């Protein structure tokens, strides 16, 4: 298994991984999430991510099969936190058959190194509160809770 930057030939596999992420994470935790978004918009969105120097698009590959992906991007400066240079781990997924094998840790480590190399001082990630396994993973890799978003349905 190797982790490497995605190339345009990986686009279909990155989109397929994103489709899986939407279905198994947001699709089971947010009834308002449009789980068809990556099918409809993914090729354009992830295609531009693969070529954007401010975005890291990684794939985990076993043989010739993509078994995971990570998207990380630099954040815009925040005038209320002027000393922070930030990056966000936007999405990460490892195929269920390969979870627990260290691939997620390798993807995260590559993201952190990429961010450090760009002068980033803080990386962040969002997770659904009910996704306790993702939260455990992130906490095990040094992420700590820093805010809590509360939503209220008013329809």
Parse the chain into domains and list their residue ranges. 2-140
- Cα–Cα distance measured from residue 90 to residue 127, given in angstroms and rounded to the nearest whole number: 10
pLDDT at 82: 95
So what's the pLDDT on residue 153?
Answer: 85
In the structure, what pLDDT confidence band is assigned to residue 152 with cuts at 50, 70 and 90?
A: confident
Q: What band does 151 get if pLDDT is binned at 50, 70 and 90?
A: confident
Q: Who contacts 63 (Cβ-Cβ below 8 Å, separation ≥6)?
A: none
- Structural contact between residues 18 and 34, judged by C-beta atoms closer than 8 angstroms: no
Q: What angle do CA 9, 10, 14 make, to 5 degrees?
A: 150
C-alpha–C-alpha distance, residues 137 and 92, integer Å = 11
Q: How confident is the model at residue 102 (pLDDT cuts 50, 70, 90)?
A: very high
Q: What's the rounded mean pLDDT across residues 135-150?
A: 94
What is the rounded distance in angstroms from the CA atom of residue 101 to the CA atom of residue 118?
A: 28
Per-residue pLDDT of 34-90, as tens digits, reads: 999 999 999 999 999 999 999 999 999 999 999 999 999 999 999 999 999 999 999
In the predicted model, is pLDDT for residue 123 greater than 90?
A: yes
pLDDT at 117: 98
| High-pLDDT (> 90) share of the chain, % | 93
Q: What topology does CATH give the domain 2-140?
A: Aminopeptidase (3.40.630)
Which pLDDT score, from 0 to 100, does residue 132 have? Answer: 95
Q: Do residues 89 and 143 make contact, with C-beta atoms less than 8 angstroms apart?
A: no
């Amino acid at each position: 298994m190797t982790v490497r930057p995605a190339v345009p030939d990986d686009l279909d596999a990155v989109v397929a991984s994103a489709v899986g992420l939407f279905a198994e994470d947001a699709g089971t935790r947010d009834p308002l999430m449009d789980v068809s978004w990556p099918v409809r918009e993914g090729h354009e969105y992830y295609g531009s991510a693969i070529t954007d120097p401010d975005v890291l698009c990684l794939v985990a590959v076993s043989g010739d099969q993509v078994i995971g992906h990570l998207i990380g991007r630099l954040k815009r400066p925040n005038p209320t936190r002027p000393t922070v240079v930030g990056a966000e781990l936007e999405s990460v997924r490892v195929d269920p058959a390969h979870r627990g094998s260290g691939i997620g840790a390798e993807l995260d480590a590559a993201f952190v190194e990429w961010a450090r190399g760009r002068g980033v001082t803080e990386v962040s990630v969002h997770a659904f509160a009910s996704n306790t396994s993702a939260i455990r993973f992130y906490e095990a890799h040094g992420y700590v809770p820093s805010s809590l978003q509360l939503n209220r349905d008013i329809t």
